[in-house]
Structure formats: C-alpha cells, structure tokens
C-alpha cells in the first residue's frame, strides 16, 4: 500500500498542493492498491507551530513513507532567522541530507501550446527537450561554512568526493542512454580544482558507457548556450551550485517556472516538488500555477512507483487543458482563458474524466 508524505510547506505551496492531491487521488482511485496520504508541517509553517522547520513528527512520517511530496518552503517572515534555522536550510537541505537525495532531475520540454509563452523566439525553443541532472547532496551548499572577525569575513567551502561525483555521473549516463545518448557535463574546470577532479571522474565513468557521447562545457558558457541554442542539449549533468542556477535559467525557456517539476532521488526514497519557491509575491491570491506541482505528482508515479500509465494520464490531461485554451496568468497570452490556481486544478480534473 503506497504511503505518501505530503508537505505543503509555505506560501503558494499551500495552494498548489491541494490541487495536485485532487489530481493524484483521481488517478490512483482506478489502481488496485489503496493509497495513503499523511500530511505534515515543514518550513516556516512548522517553525510557527512547533518551533522547528523540520520537526521530528514530520521526519517520522517521511521515514515511514514511500515517497515525499513537497510544495515549497520559506518566506520573508522567516528570513531574519540564523541560516541553519531558516526553512530553506533546515527543511529543504535537511530532507535532502536525511534521505540522501543526491540526484535532482528536472525535465525541460517545450510544450507546443506554450511556444508563445516563452520569452525566447519560437524557432529557438520549439525543439527543446532536455533533462538537467543536478548533484544535490554535496558541494558548496553542504561544505563547511562560517564567519570570521577581524577583519569581518564569511566563507563557504566546496568539496566533492570521487564517490559523490561518480554516482551522479552514473545517473547522467543512464538517463542519456534512455534518450538521445548525449551527455554534457558542466563545470568550471578552468578555475576550480573540484571541477578539474569532476572532469577526470566523468571521463573515467564514460568508459563504462561507450554508447553515450560525453562532452564538457564551462558553466558560464552553459548559461549562455541555454539562451542561444537550448535545443542542442539532451542530458546535462552538473554540480549542486551550477545546477541550481542553470535549472532556473532553463525553467523560463518553457514560459514559466510554474511549469517545471523536479524529482530528487536517493537510494531509497524520492522527493517530488516544483522547481519554484513559495512565491510570497503571489501567495494567498489564487494566482499560482499548480501545474509544476501536478507534474511533480506524475513524476512521482513514474520514478517511485513505475505507474507510467497513470503519469501519462496526468500529462495528457494537461495537454487537453492547454488545447482548450486555458492558462494560468504566468503563461497566458492575449486571448487565452485565464484561470486561478483552484480553477486550473478543476480543469485538469475535468480533462482526466
């Protein structure tokens, strides 16, 4: 019996999660097994109620779960807390560390109906179909950090072990093997020692995948190429920091970050969340696009439960909603029928029927 830990989090997380759950429940009711959902607090909401962004109760529920669904955490209310207590650090990085979620997978595919929502010219984005794989459990975000006095200074350290690089490269090569067999490894080997090591390991791992063509690209150029010629990429693999930046750049190719789902996979359990944050500027206004969260549910059905048909049903329902001309504000162009968060959830449910 699949058991899903549901963590709506903060801001628009609390608005998009209910829509994604409605869609998920509609799809799994046709499956033979019973699905269980356990909702709990994480992020700023958990700090307010229980004094900690990742309370023990939440961790316990997640440990008993087969997969975790997360909305988004953080917001201005908690921005003044010391770094380690902030929702993003304590809850998000805490979950990644606790469950060893080392591979973040973000598909970026241009949907035909959204070609005009992209800030780039149609001919530049129409063939975009790529996957960005970001190392999520090491590097700069997890290295030793601190402050110094006299003179005042701050530092973050970046360290990558061979094992950490090797395992994410394997995810990259396997993903490429199942697609167009082209893997681009992104680094800054011209300036960073960790990147030079990353490149050496990537070249070693490549010998195990003779059918995949490996290329290397500097991160600054990769940012530029994502804008100039994004359709050149099949699978991109990179470290935690570059992956954070590049996947956000790639997210707007499709029109809005509100369309981009993300899967974070470890040895045992997967965490599925939209690529965006809690969007305090639009929270509570029924303006958020729930589709990244709904697509994260489809990704969970695929990666954690091999329920490919159920996942495809959701993706096809979204296609039908677009074909009927419905959009949320972030992806609408003149003439589209603009829906709120809840109404977009209604539309996807209707299209599922």
Tell the smallest beta-carbon distance from residue 48 to ligand NAD (Å): 14
**Minimum CB distance to ligand NAD smaller for 164 or for 330:** 330
Active-site entry in 66, 129, 244, 336: 244
Rounded Cα distance, 178 and 181, in Å: 7
Rounded Cα distance, 155 and 147, in Å: 6
**Minimum CB distance to ligand NAD smaller for 40 or for 279:** 279
Residues contacting 127, CB < 8 A, separation 6+? 110, 231
Active-site entry in 79, 116, 220, 281: 220
Q: Are strands 3-9 and 67-72 parallel, antiparallel or unpaired?
A: parallel
Residue numbers at the binding site for ligand NAD (CB under 6 A): 12, 72-75, 88, 92, 256-258, 273, 276-282, 288-289, 292, 330
Active-site entry in 66, 129, 248, 346: 248
Q: Are strands 337-339 and 326-328 parallel, antiparallel or unpaired?
A: parallel
Residue 271 β-bridge partners: 68, 264
Tell the smallest beta-carbon distance from residue 244 to ligand NAD (Å): 9
Is 220 a known active-site residue? yes
* 157-161-166-171 Cα dihedral, nearest 10 degrees: -40
Active-site entry in 10, 160, 188, 326: 188
Rounded Cα distance, 329 and 1, in Å: 38
Is 244 a known active-site residue? yes
Rounded Cα distance, 8 and 27, in Å: 20
Active-site entry in 141, 160, 209, 272: 141
Closest C-alpha to 349, from 330, 321, 322, 328: 321
Is 141 a known active-site residue? yes
Q: Which residue is nearest to ligand NAD (CB)?
A: 277
List, in sequence order, every beta strand (DSSP E) within the chain: 3-9, 36-39, 67-72, 103-109, 129-135, 145-148, 153-156, 182-187, 213-218, 235-238, 261-265, 270-274, 326-328, 337-339
**Minimum CB distance to ligand NAD smaller for 119 or for 191:** 119
Rounded Cα distance, 336 and 322, in Å: 9
Is 188 a known active-site residue? yes
**Minimum CB distance to ligand NAD smaller for 93 or for 205:** 93
**Minimum CB distance to ligand NAD smaller for 194 or for 247:** 247
Tell the smallest beta-carbon distance from residue 44 to ligand NAD (Å): 8
**Minimum CB distance to ligand NAD smaller for 2 or for 8:** 8
Rounded Cα distance, 270 and 171, in Å: 14
Tell the smallest beta-carbon distance from residue 168 to ligand NAD (Å): 19
Q: Which residues are catalytic?
A: 141, 188, 220, 244, 248
């Amino acid at each position: 019996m699949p058991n899903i830990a549901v963590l709506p989090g903060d801001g628009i997380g609390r608005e998009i999660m209910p829509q994604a759950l409605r869609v998920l429940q509609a799809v799994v009711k046709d499956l033979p097994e019973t699905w269980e959902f356990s909702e709990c607090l994480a992020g700023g909401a958990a700090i307010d109620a229980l004094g900690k962004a990742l309370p023990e109760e939440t961790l316990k529920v997640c440990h008993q779960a087969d997969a975790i669904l997360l909305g988004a955490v953080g917001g201005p209310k908690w921005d003044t807390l010391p770094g380690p207590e902030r929702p993003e650090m304590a809850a998000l990085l805490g979950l990644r560390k606790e469950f060893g979620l080392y591979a973040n997978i973000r598909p970026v595919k241009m949907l035909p109906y959204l070609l005009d929502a992209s800030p780039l010219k149609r001919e530049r984005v129409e063939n975009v179909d790529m996957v960005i794989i970001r190392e999520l459990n090491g590097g700069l975000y997890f290295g030793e950090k601190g402050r110094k006095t006299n003179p005042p200074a701050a530092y973050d350290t970046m360290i990558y072990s061979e094992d950490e690089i090797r395992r994410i490269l394997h995810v990259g090569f396997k993903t490429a093997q199942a697609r167009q067999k082209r893997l681009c490894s992104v680094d800054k080997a011209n300036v960073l020692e960790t990147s030079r090591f990353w490149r050496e390991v990537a070249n070693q791992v490549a010998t195990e995948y003779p059918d995949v063509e490996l290329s290397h690209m500097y991160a600054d150029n990769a940012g530029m190429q994502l804008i100039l010629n994004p359709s050149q990429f099949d699978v991109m693999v990179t470290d935690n920091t570059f992956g954070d930046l590049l996947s956000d750049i790639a997210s707007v190719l499709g029109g809005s970050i509100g369309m981009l789902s993300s899967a974070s996979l470890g040895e045992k359990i997967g965490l599925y969340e939209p690529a965006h944050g809690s969007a305090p500027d639009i929270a509570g206004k029924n303006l958020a696009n729930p589709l990244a969260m709904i697509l994260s549910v489809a990704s969970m059905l695929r990666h954690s439960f091999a329920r490919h048909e159920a996942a495809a049903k959701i993706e096809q329902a979204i296609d039908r909603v677009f074909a009927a001309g419905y959009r949320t504000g972030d992806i609408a162009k003149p003439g589209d029928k603009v829906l709120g968060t809840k109404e977009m959830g209604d539309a996807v449910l209707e299209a599922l029927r």
